[in-house]
């Protein structure tokens, strides 16, 4: 076994001098330094090229050794040179596709290099806007946003409302997910109804809530227009498919023989569900709940139609106040003519959401690793 191959495998498995955690930290450090250099030089395109090349190089080191790293470096350089000569960086997208077709199909061990280069296109498309967004924030405006009472109310409503919507979808969606997993006559029709909100335009979803629960509808006493109830119903409408579908897949992975064994030992069907199926599917149910919460946080169209301004009880003030859900609040700030202020509020929202995601992952997924987030 060559030295380069052993180094590559130690990075992949963490069995060598450089463990997996150290390797990830080293890669992140290099990426941050490269992005900072490209940002200072006002050449973010160079970082995009570097990110693609480094992803391919890592894959090359783990699969093809130094030859793979060299191939990735040469391919990335060729892609960059072509883009520079043509004065068009569309080659950053087209190049990896051609590279995959040429290299990935000719030699198996270099297929990982080609796949990493292809995958890095999507990663760059996702991460580069976020990195530039964070880098261009005005610390003064972010500090002002953090001290604004209006932003405090917005953040409270943005956590509180989606949390209620998530609880609603889980309480009523988990039993439905279990039934869908076990099957029943008419299941395709019910699954289609559950999935329908995914294709309904969000502004139309808001109208459906008003038609279903507004004045003159089935439950007019709810008073959905401009209320927390209406906002929660709008959020639940658009986020329910995520909770139900993920929970259904988790229940489908639970072996029916395990439930039958519980029934043989005297458990009722409900006890078998509560003590066997639900614990085994708990991780999927939690994931569905997190996705539903995240979807509710980002909802704009349905909330803007049903509850543009929301009256709700605000504990720090000890009274009912009027506020706006985060997407509506940020949209209003943007249309008022301030891109910088709206982006500062968005930065605060993104930071809070990231913190909540990490906390949920630490509490629910990595408890067995003593709080180490993998």
Give the pLDDT score at 242.
93
**Residues 347, 133: contact at Cβ < 8 Å?**
yes
Highest mean pLDDT out of 27-31, 53-57, 175-179:
175-179
E strand or H helix that includes residue 255: none
What is the average per-residue pLDDT within 124-140? 85
pLDDT value at 350 more than 60: yes
Strand partners, 311: 227, 322
On average, the pLDDT of the chain sits at 80
What is the average per-residue pLDDT within 19-32? 71
pLDDT band at 16 (very low <50, low <70, confident <90, very high): very low
Highest mean pLDDT out of 18-27, 73-82, 119-128:
119-128
DSSP letter at 214 equals: S
| Spacing of C-alpha 182 from chain mean position | 28
pLDDT value at 7 more than 60: no
Query: Percent of the chain at pLDDT above 70?
Result: 75
d(CA 235, CA 191): 19
Q: Which residues contact 226 (CB under 8 A, 6 or more apart)?
A: 306, 307, 308, 309, 310, 311
Give the pLDDT score at 173.
93
Give the pLDDT score at 245.
93
Residue located via tokens 């060299």: 70
Q: Torsions phi, psi of 92, nearest 5?
A: -65, -25
pLDDT value at 366 more than 50: yes
What is the average per-residue pLDDT within 214-230? 80
**Residues 227, 310: contact at Cβ < 8 Å?**
yes
pLDDT band at 312 (very low <50, low <70, confident <90, very high): confident
**Residues 324, 304: contact at Cβ < 8 Å?**
no
pLDDT (tens digit, 9 = 90+) per residue, 234-288? 999 999 999 999 999 999 988 888 888 888 887 788 888 888 888 999 888 988 9
pLDDT band at 14 (very low <50, low <70, confident <90, very high): very low
Give the pLDDT score at 28.
75
Give the pLDDT score at 99.
66
pLDDT (tens digit, 9 = 90+) per residue, 90-122? 666 666 666 666 666 666 666 666 666 667 777
What is the average per-residue pLDDT within 55-67? 66
């Amino acid at each position: 076994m060559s030295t380069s191959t052993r180094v590559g495998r130690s990075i992949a498995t963490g069995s060598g001098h450089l463990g997996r955690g150290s390797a990830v930290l080293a890669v992140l450090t290099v990426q941050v330094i490269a992005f900072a250099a490209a940002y200072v030089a006002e050449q973010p395109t160079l970082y995009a090229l570097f990110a693609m090349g480094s992803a391919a190089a890592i894959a090359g080191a783990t699969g093809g050794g130094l030859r793979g790293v060299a191939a990735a470096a040469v391919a990335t350089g060729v892609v960059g040179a072509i883009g520079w000569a043509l004065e068009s960086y569309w080659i950053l997208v087209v190049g990896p596709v051609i590279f995959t077709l040429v290299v990935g199909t000719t030699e198996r061990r270099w297929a990982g290099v080609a796949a990493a280069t292809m995958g890095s296109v999507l990663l760059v498309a996702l991460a580069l806007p976020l990195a530039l967004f964070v880098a261009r924030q005005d610390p003064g405006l972010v500090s002002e946003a953090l001290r604004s009472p209006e932003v405090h109310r917005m953040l409270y409503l943005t956590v509180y409302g989606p949390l209620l919507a998530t609880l609603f979808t889980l309480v009523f969606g988990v039993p439905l997910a279990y039934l869908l997993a076990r099957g029943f006559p008419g299941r395709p029709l019910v699954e289609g109804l559950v999935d329908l909100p995914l294709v309904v335009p969000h502004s139309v979803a808001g109208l459906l809530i008003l038609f279903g629960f507004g004045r003159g509808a089935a439950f007019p006493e709810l008073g959905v227009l401009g209320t927390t109830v209406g906002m929660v119903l709008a959020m639940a409408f658009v986020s329910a498919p995520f909770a139900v579908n993920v929970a259904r897949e988790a229940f489908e992975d639970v072996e029916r023989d395990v439930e039958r064994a519980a029934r043989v030992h005297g458990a009722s069907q409900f006890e078998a569900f509560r003590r066997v199926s639900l614990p085994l599917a708990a991780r999927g149910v939690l994931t569905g709940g997190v996705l539903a919460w995240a979807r509710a946080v980002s909802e704009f169209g349905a909330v803007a139609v049903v509850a543009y301004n929301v009256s709700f009880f605000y504990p720090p003030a000890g009274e009912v106040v009027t506020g706006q859900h985060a997407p509506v609040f940020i949209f209003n700030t943007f249309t008022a003519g301030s891109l910088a202020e709206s982006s500062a509020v968005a930065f605060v929202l993104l930071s809070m959401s990231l913190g909540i995601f990490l906390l949920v992952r630490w509490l629910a997924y990595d408890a067995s690793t003593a709080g180490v987030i993998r």
